[in-house]
Amino acid sequence: MSNNIRFLQGNEACVEGALYAGCEFFAGYPITPSTEIAELLSSRLPKIGGKFIQMEDEIASMCAIIGASLTGHKVLTATSGPGFSLKQEALGYAIMAEVPCVIVNVQRGGPSTGIPTHVHQGDVNQARWGTHGDHAIVALTASNHQDVFAMTVEAFNIAETYRTPVVLLFDEVVGHMRERLVLPEPGEIPIVARLQTSVKQGVNYHPYLAREDGRLPMSDFGGVHRYNVTGLYHDMWGFPSDEPQIINELLHHLMDKIEHRTNQLARFKEFYTEDAECLLISYGSSARSAREVVEKHRQRGERFGLLELLTLWPFPSDLIRQKAAGARLVVVVEMNMGQVCQSVRLAMDRPERVFLSNRVDGVFISPSDIEKTLNLIQGRGV
């Protein structure tokens, strides 16, 4: 029992989650603050017969995992801001070709090279809109190592279930902080295996024809079914098409398979939200300080609550509307210029009660930083 307890970095917790989920292939490129994920997997993957490759650049890493996924493996890459920018084209390819894969972005300060060793959460909207064209994406996050592990497993499960790339948006504080992780026993968290087609050899297999439940069974490259995969608009065989109806249907399918499941995909945690007059909304490492503030005010008998988002995309608007319905004041705590705050305002019927408590100077937002914002909002000065 006790040997299931680890004291480690968030990046290491992510690796443990990936291996638990069945990751067998990693391609990456060194970048702060995500490098430990690559380093650790270079040691761990070959031990289980998996493959690790350090590619020539971030772009190639993203491409390589897509190739490896198509041969039937669960795949991962990890990066940070500038690397995430470089991966965007191939991320769009994985969306279009519906190739399951997981991309970790341990966020640092941007834009550009920014502040590599310090924390920011400025890539939230990039995760949503980084690649060109209309599309949908799933992005998950976590504030502590147990959740880093769980969300990493979840990312692989969602990627397989919906044949989609999933982004794990961690941040430098979570990635480098050390704390306890209790490793779940095998089988304790359900694992979604690659859904293989039941179509037999010699019978037409359609890689892009959904079953009744909406899922698209796959056939490994190298298997009995030979088909085409492309980033062009394509028909149910995977062959390029410029038929208006096919283009229209495919784009709607790519959007709907994620966006229509927004509530189903909404992972979150809540603390004292039932009667909260002041609702804090936060995610990632910022949520740790937000929770501290909420606990302190509760001890004083003040009706504070915290909604901690674990799913950032598709944005859980219904959830937020529901949890914030009774709140007089909603404060979004994050380390950027208000990226989630903006989405919260769009989700709310009275956006004027939504305020931002942020910090963007590379210093971790503390409970006292949040208190200062609360004082200002409530007209009490700093």
**Interacting residue with another protein among 182, 232, 337, 376 (CB under 8 A):** 232
Indicate whether 362 belongs to the interface with another protein (CB under 8 A). no
Determine contact, residues 117/175, Cβ cutoff 8 Å: no
Question: Considering CB under 8 A, how many residues would be counted as binding another protein?
Answer: 44
Give the three-state DSSP class for 42.
helix
**Closer of 224 and 346 to another protein (Cβ):** 224
**Interacting residue with another protein among 224, 325, 337, 346 (CB under 8 A):** 224
CA 18/CA 28 separation, integer angstroms: 14
Indicate whether 103 belongs to the interface with another protein (CB under 8 A). no
**Closer of 88 and 336 to another protein (Cβ):** 88
Determine contact, residues 236/209, Cβ cutoff 8 Å: yes
Which of 21, 6, 193 lies closest to 104, judged by CA? 21
Site string for another protein, 58-97 (x = CB under 8 A): -xxx-xxxxxxxxxxx-x-------------xx--x----
Phi-psi region at 9: left, alpha or beta (left = phi > 0; alpha = psi -120 to 50):
beta
Residues 258-317 that bind another protein (CB under 8 A): none
**Closer of 132 and 300 to another protein (Cβ):** 132
Q: How far is CA 304 from the centre of its chain?
A: 27
**Closer of 93 and 304 to another protein (Cβ):** 93
**Interacting residue with another protein among 4, 196, 230, 248 (CB under 8 A):** 230
Indicate whether 233 belongs to the interface with another protein (CB under 8 A). no
Q: What is the largest CA-CA distance in the chain?
A: 75
**Closer of 250 and 331 to another protein (Cβ):** 250
Indicate whether 226 belongs to the interface with another protein (CB under 8 A). yes
Indicate whether 19 belongs to the interface with another protein (CB under 8 A). no
Neighbour-count burial of 295, counting CB atoms closer than 10 A to its CB (0-12 exposed, 13-18 middle, 19+ buried): middle
Indicate whether 25 belongs to the interface with another protein (CB under 8 A). yes
Determine contact, residues 288/144, Cβ cutoff 8 Å: yes
Q: Which two tokens stand for residue 358?
A: 């942020």
**Closer of 179 and 235 to another protein (Cβ):** 235
Residues 6+ apart with CB under 8 A from 44: 15, 19, 50
Indicate whether 46 belongs to the interface with another protein (CB under 8 A). yes
CA 209/CA 196 separation, integer angstroms: 13
**Contact footprint for another protein (CB under 8 A):** 24-25, 27, 43, 46-47, 49, 51, 53, 55-57, 59-61, 63-73, 75, 89-90, 93, 220-224, 226-232, 239-240
